[in-house]
């Protein structure tokens, strides 16, 4: 298959199916700008780089972004919000339990986690993985 002939829709569908159940919901491409108060955690699946044609298979990077709503903390008479490390850690463990994974068409492996800051009231941890397309 030549470069540029990979079906992004199929790749995203595979990733969504693999990582469903980690958060209250799962979306593709980017974090939501507005979200219901009922959602405390969710996952964003994206493909942040192009698919490289390796002569018989494709190679790219998959990004699984874990988002957890800011948590309120009280210290003395002060209340502040911050990162819900416990929830993000549980989400990371759940994602890592699905990696490595190999199907007839895809192979995802080599996860690396890094903090992604805060976005719209949610703290973000990103998991970057190698994705091979057979």
Question: Mean pLDDT of all residues in the chain?
Answer: 92
| CB-based contacts of 24, cutoff 8 Å, min separation 6 | 38, 39, 40, 41, 42
Q: Does the pLDDT value for residue 3 go beyond 50? A: no
DSSP state of 50: P
User: The CATH number of the domain where 20 resides is what?
Assistant: 3.30.2000.10
User: Over pLDDT 90: what percentage of the chain?
Assistant: 71
The answer to whether position 27 is within a domain reads yes
Domain limits at 122? Answer: 8-133
* 1 inside domain: no
At residue 4 the predicted structure's pLDDT band, cuts being 50, 70 and 90, is: low
Residue 46 lies in a domain: yes
Q: Does 3 map to a domain?
A: no
Assess whether pLDDT exceeds 90 at residue 123. Answer: yes
**pLDDT for 125 beyond 90:** yes
Q: Do residues 18 and 101 make contact, with C-beta atoms less than 8 angstroms apart?
A: yes
19 pLDDT band (50/70/90 cuts)?
Answer: very high
């Amino acid at each position: 298959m030549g470069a540029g002939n990979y079906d992004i829709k199929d790749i995203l569908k595979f990733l969504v199916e693999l990582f469903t159940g980690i958060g209250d919901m799962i979306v593709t491409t980017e974090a939501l700008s507005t979200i219901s108060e009922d959602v405390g955690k969710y996952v964003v699946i994206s493909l942040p780089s192009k698919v490289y044609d390796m002569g018989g298979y494709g190679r790219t990077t998959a990004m699984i972004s874990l988002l957890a709503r800011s948590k309120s903390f009280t210290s003395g008479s002060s209340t502040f919000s911050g990162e819900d490390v416990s929830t993000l850690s549980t989400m990371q463990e759940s994602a890592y339990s699905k990696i490595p994974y190999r199907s007839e068409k895809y192979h995802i492996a080599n996860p690396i986690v890094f903090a992604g800051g805060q976005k719209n009231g949610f703290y973000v941890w990103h998991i970057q993985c190698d994705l091979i397309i057979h």
